[in-house]
């Protein structure tokens, strides 16, 4: 099949979610008009996730996986996905299914005119502390990046692959993907998507890595913005 779109799904200790993840993603790729494949990135899980991932990939031709030798974090898992994708478009979502793969179609409607389309979670189904810490973190990030995005933590994005592969990832940079597209003079937009409560597994981010960690990362982004190399080839022979 001539695949056009790859969905990257980072996974860390999510054995309780993987059966439902397989069903939801299988339903999506059967119904969408965009030829889609799935790349499951196991970020060094210590539970039975890898056994289940391999079984899923054996059952489904469009499913593939990468397995890290050790836990390296969400940004590393996303970076590995970027490095191994060979379709013109790529997407990213979490394995906890607090967002629905069906909403990728909402984002894909806009990717022709933009280089990154990110979801913004409408009516979030998280705790008060989680919602408030994310709200504060997003305000801080917007102050530093001026990217205009309200919810860069939303784990539902579509990016043109050539732009994604030029992003110089570092730990924590998954929160700055729209800003990194802007550094390439790309166009970005946010689209409302649905949000659901987590029904299995445990959240991997707490107050520190949702609020204080991103504040430190903002200074790393400013350094990178100052040093970032961007160029356009006018001609070659």
Domain extents in the chain: 5-227
Q: How far apart are CA 43 and CA 80, in angstroms?
A: 10
The pLDDT tens digits for 60-95 are: 999 999 999 999 999 999 999 999 999 999 999 999
> Is the confidence at residue 216, as pLDDT, over 70?
yes
Instruction: Dig out the tokens for 67 from the structure.
Output: 């397995």
pLDDT of residue 125: 57
The pLDDT tens digits for 171-203 are: 777 788 998 899 999 999 999 998 776 666 566
pLDDT of residue 35: 98
pLDDT of residue 34: 97
Q: How far apart are CA 73 and CA 116, in angstroms?
A: 22
The pLDDT tens digits for 6-45 are: 999 999 999 999 999 999 999 999 999 999 999 999 999 9
- Kindly write down the DSSP assignment for every residue of the chain, as one continuous string: ----EEEEEEESS-TTTHHHHHHHHHHHHHH-SS-EEEEEEE-S-SSSHHHHHHHHHHH-TTEEEEE-SS---HHHHHHHHHHH--SSEEEEE-TT-SS-GGGHHHHHTTTTT-SEEEEEESS--S-HHHHHHHHHHHHHHHHHH----S-TT-SEEEEEHHHHTT----TTGGGGHHHHHHHTT--EEEEEE------SS--S--HIIIIIHHHHHHHHHHHHHHH----------
Backbone dihedral region for residue 121 (phi beyond 0: left; psi -120 to 50: alpha; all else: beta): beta
Q: How far apart are CA 124 and CA 98, in angstroms?
A: 9
Spacing of C-alpha 71 from chain mean position: 17
The pLDDT tens digits for 107-152 are: 999 999 999 999 988 766 555 556 556 666 666 666 777 777 777 7
Against a cut of 0.95, is the pTM above it? no
Least confident of 47-51, 100-104, 174-178, 220-224: 220-224
Spacing of C-alpha 138 from chain mean position: 16
CATH superfamily of 5-227: Spore Coat Polysaccharide Biosynthesis Protein SpsA; Chain A (3.90.550.10)
pLDDT band per the 50, 70, 90 thresholds, residue 232: confident
The residue that leads in pLDDT, 15 or 210, is 15
Cα separation of the two ends of the chain: 34
pLDDT of residue 128: 53
Contacts of 18 (CB under 8 A, 6+ apart): 11, 49, 52, 53, 56, 95
pLDDT of residue 160: 98
């Amino acid at each position: 099949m001539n695949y056009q779109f790859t969905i990257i799904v980072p996974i860390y200790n999510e054995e309780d979610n993987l059966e439902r993840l397989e069903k939801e993603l299988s339903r999506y790729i059967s119904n969408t008009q965009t030829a889609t494949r799935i790349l499951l990135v196991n970020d060094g899980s210590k539970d039975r996730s890898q056994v289940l991932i391999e079984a899923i990939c054996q059952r489904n031709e469009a499913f593939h996986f990468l397995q890290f030798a050790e836990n390296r974090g969400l940004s590393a898992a996303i970076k590995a996905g970027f490095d191994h994708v060979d379709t013109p478009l790529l997407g990213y979502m979490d394995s906890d299914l607090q967002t629905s793969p069906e909403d990728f179609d909402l984002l894909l409607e806009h990717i022709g005119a933009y280089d990154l389309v990110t979801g913004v979670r409408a009516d979030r189904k998280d705790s008060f502390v989680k919602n408030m810490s994310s709200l504060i973190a997003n305000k801080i990030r917007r102050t530093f990046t001026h990217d205009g995005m309200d919810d860069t933590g939303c784990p539902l994005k579509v990016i043109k692959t050539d732009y994604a592969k030029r992003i110089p990832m570092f730990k924590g940079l998954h929160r700055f993907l729209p800003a990194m597209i802007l550094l390439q003079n790309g166009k970005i937009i946010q689209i409302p998507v649905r949000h659901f409560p987590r029904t299995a597994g445990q959240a991997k981010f707490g107050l520190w890595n949702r609020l204080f960690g991103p504040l430190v990362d903002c200074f790393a982004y400013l350094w990178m913005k100052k040093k970032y190399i961007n160029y356009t080839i006018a001609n070659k022979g």
